[in-house]
Amino acid sequence: MYRKVIFPVDLTHVDDLSKALQTTLDLANHYKAEICFVGVTGTAPNAVTHTPQEYERKLRAFADEQGKAHGLKCSATACISPDPSIDTDKTLLAAIDDLGGDLVVMQTHAPNALDYIWAGHGDTIAAHSGASVFLVR
């Protein structure tokens, strides 16, 4: 049913993704699907990496670690954005299409009042992607 699962990763919050990551691993295992870990980063240094190339290496290492630990085919795609604070949704939507993802699994937060003003990334991806989207709280 699903061939490629896209899992957006924010390497600064990877410890907070355990529930969504486990869901992704379970679904990929069940459907014998590839997982593509997608991360969006800027060109400026951040808390995790100093360069986009270092970010890409860390994202690939994360994907390799998950693949080996769980016996799944995993890949990584780092997307470089001039301003991730405003481009993340657009960049993720383009990556999902470019990579041929047919399922996106994302960690999300519990709804709050600000969601009426600014939609979360998961809301936007679910509303605008042609892929199925599974949001995990």
pLDDT tens digits, 39-98: 999 999 988 899 999 999 999 999 999 999 999 999 999 999 999 989 999 999 999 999
How far is C-alpha 120 from the geometric centre of its chain's CA atoms?
14
Q: Delimit the domains of the chain by residue range.
A: 4-136
- Adjacent-strand bridge partners of 75: 36
Provide the pLDDT for residue 108: 85
User: What is the sign, positive or negative, of the torsion defined by CA atoms of 13, 39, 48, 84?
Assistant: negative
User: Which CATH number is correct for 4-136, 2.30.110.10, 3.40.50.620, 3.90.1150.10, 3.40.640.10?
Assistant: 3.40.50.620
Lowest mean pLDDT among 32-41, 80-89, 107-116: 107-116
Give the integer Cα–Cα distance in Å for 9 and 39.
5
Chain mean pLDDT for the chain: 92
Give the integer Cα–Cα distance in Å for 58 and 75.
12
Residue 96 near residue 133 (C-beta atoms within 8 A): no
Residue 73 near residue 67 (C-beta atoms within 8 A): yes
